[in-house]
Structure 1
């Protein structure tokens, strides 16, 4: 009997946590994982967005098998990964800077597309141009912005430690600085070698670059130059939510969004051809002031012999999750309200594998809030340990389970005001009773 009592005491916290989940959260989804991992991720679905109540998505939490909250974080969709490409760039040695009493001229011959075919220098002394360490780089055949230059030199040039300046031009006449100083390094010690061959430029779009060592720094006898460009991966296509509206007056139409979607795009569609000038506004509460979400844009849906012609989606001024939306036309419009399409990129939930599996995702509450946890620093630590390409393992949603349902979306009743009034009334009655007793004693005396 005593053992049963101990078991009941041990199980009591789990029973309490389970009861709180059933009372405070609207719905839950069981989570399945394929392999053990330190952290997991999953993409938010339209069903989860429809369940959420808080504009900040604070009513979303991952819990373990006992109902205890585990560290949970909501992240925007990751940016497309970019790949680095090195491309050989034609280059030409330049002579050293002229002395005060010498003249120096640069004569370049280009083809019809602007590529350098020949370069000739006049003046500036008779020293070998390659030993000056300066170079003119032809980027006219490279279509993407150049983010860096990779330089190569003979291993016999070590040791070297030099600072270089980089300038850009489109006509070989006017030059602008793109890198004030960049260090080139090639040193050895105790059998170890430290080499730095790259000059970081940010993003430069120019036909030509000019490299020179800073005054007082040794020149590097270059053997080759490669231009570094970056190419982003495919951008995820946005998801869309279509809203049917009602006419308020003239060219004003109202819409309501039931989900907490991170809206960043807007589009207006109609069953019939149209052309109009639109503005879009939104607000969270029905009595709040309208806030502009786009600048004015021209939307259209036209029919041609070869097919339809539609205006592109309009980017919003930021990301918004408001419930109420208003579409305004510059002039009154007849007919039914057009369809408002709101575009978004789904976010993802990342949680740490704490507690007892299996885990569940709970969402939708006007009473409970997600517990704050330092998830991001832990993910950074894991990424440093596993490598830059590391990602949390995938988790998968199961069938939705109803907990408290709509009752969880009702804010808890605030008894504070009633309690204050009760204390005030009780105090008034107490003072009144004391006053009556004093009056009676006075009369008896």
Structure 2
């Protein structure tokens, strides 16, 4: 009877060990996709216990785990190139006859260095006949323009022109950036070959395109600058932490505690208006086992200068700090340098890009995403080779069908964060039991011998 009672407890113990703190119902965009991808939200990261999110899983209606893999957020890709109109001016053919030569025209600029007019110098004999050179003022886009786009008047059907590309910062000293760039537009049997783009790789503000041929260029209608498209950054999420009680031993040192396992990649602070403070940033976590508690703190940044400036209704602030590599440490520390007593405690803002979970619909629907289990073991995922093969076959941008999180609900609650009881060493217990039993047997045997001795 005792043996049956002990065996009845085993399933209950195993079920409790596999339970999680919270759960979310999954809503599938397609009912028969086979593979799905669900983006994690703040609630999932707050519930997670382990750094590698091993306790974030997908289960079916019967509670069985599905084949799944946690994936970090994909790197943002640059959007399409943007074009901006550039200021350009036609120069007479005699303006620059030699490579890197000075201009033989008078260029008028405003206080900001912007070219406003170009005219022949008083000593010049007049403009020589031939194709003009072009003076381009990149202005504030200097160093950002990746290419020039040439637009002709009348859209000519056939041309093949060569230009020498030069650059300068003061309109006096010029350096050759490319000895020959070709602008081509040809047609043959209904097909067109066109090259109206001049690639740039310079931070110089002023450019000059000097024709290599005497004449033949059609009138120029416009010059546009091609800027790199902005990377998709609209998926950044932020959590804000308030400082704990200030450290009375070290002035201007503040500590923060984060709940959950967020993949932090950026830092920012919220400070009062018109302040400027430099910080040393470090982080720590209880799972970092070291002999000395002070060594548990890992430096993240040194001399990070933050500032805010309020000008009427306009407020400006320093840019967030890029960590370079993500971390999910729970404890954070800001130390002002120099450590001035009375430094206000800023709110610490942690930026992250949410990852996702990819899973296969193997069991019976509906499916649940569960998170938060201090006793979850390491899981090996076999999905990565399959996902890599599907992206190679269907394109790098291929993704499984979408799934979304429903409203969260408590599953096991805080009980799921209780660490597993330390495993008992049954071999040692059995050995000690045998030794004690043997000692008792020897003692009993000795007592029986003493009682059985005949009197003298």
Please indicate the TM-score interval, normalised by the length of the shorter structure: 0.5 to 0.7
1 CA distance for matches of 2:180 and 2:418?
59
Structure of greater Rg? 2
Which string of whole-angstrom CA distances, capped at 9 and with x for unpartnered residues, describes residues 68-121 of structure 1?
Answer: 214552205847856623426434256487479xx9853242242532422549
Deviations 1:355-383 (A, max 9, x none): 46544333334413362515467458656
Asked if the contact 2:66/2:359 (under 8 Å) is kept, the reply is: no
Q: Relative to 1, partners in 2 of residues 1:340 and 1:105: Cα closer, same or farther, differing over 3 Å? A: closer
The residue aligned with 2:220 is 223
Q: What is the alpha-carbon distance in structure 1 between the residues aligned to residue 384 and residue 196 of structure 2?
A: 42
The match for 2:193 is 194
Gaps of 5+ in 2: 1-10, 433-456
The Cα shift of 1:144 comes to 9.0
Q: Please point out which of 44, 49, 53 is paired with 1:48.
A: 44
TM-score for the superposition, normalised by structure 1: 0.64
2:26 to 25, 28, 31: 31
Q: Count matched residues.
A: 389
Name the residue aligned to 2:372: 364
- Answer whether contact 1:298 1:311 (CA < 8 A) is retained: no
Give the superposition deviation at 1:21: 11
Paired residue for 1:281? 282
Tell me the TM-score normalised to structure 2 length.
Answer: 0.63
Could you tell me how far apart the structure 1 residues matched to 2:191 and 2:17 are? 63
- Shift in Å at residue 343 of structure 1? 2.3
Asked whether the equivalents of residues 22 and 404 of structure 1 are also in contact (C-alpha less than 8 Å), the reply is: no
Q: Secondary structure in 2 aligned to 1:249?
A: coil
**Post-superposition shift, 1:326?**
2.7
Structure 1 counterpart of 2:404, from 379, 382, 395: 395
Q: Residue in 1 aligned with 2:301?
A: 294
The equivalent residue for 2:258 is 257
Indicate the residue corresponding to 1:12 in structure 2: none
Please say if residues 131 and 217 of structure 2, whose CA atoms lie closer than 8 Å, have aligned partners that are also in contact.
no
Q: Is the 8 A contact 1:98 1:124 kept in 2?
A: no
CA distance in 2, matches of 1:267, 1:147: 34
Distance 1:219 1:345 in 2: 56
**2-structure distance, mates of 1:164, 1:406:** 74
**1:163 & 1:391 partners in 2: Cα distance?**
49
Query: Aligned partners of 1:266, 1:58: CA distance in 2, in Å?
Result: 28
Alignment match, 1:73: 71
CA contact (8 A) 2:284 2:331 kept: yes
Which residue number in structure 2 is paired with residue 171 of structure 1? 170
Q: Distance in 2 between matches of 1:385 and 1:237?
A: 20
Q: How does 1:106-145 map to 2 (within 5 A)?
A: 106-112=104-110, 114-120=114-120, 128-130=130-132, 135-140=134-139, 145=144
Give the superposed CA RMSD: 5.3
Among candidates 321, 328, 335, match of residue 328 of structure 2: 321
Q: 1:90 maps to what in 2?
A: 88
Residues 166, 179 of structure 1: 8 Å contact kept: yes
Deviations 1:114-161 (A, max 9, x none): 32422549699956125xxx5332334868932321123553325x4x
SS at match of 2:157: helix
Q: C-alpha separation between the residues in 1 aligned to 2:361 and 2:150?
A: 48
Verify the 8 A CA contact 1:53 1:409 in the aligned structure 2: no
Taking the aligned partners of 2:34 and 2:173, their CA distance within structure 1 comes to 55
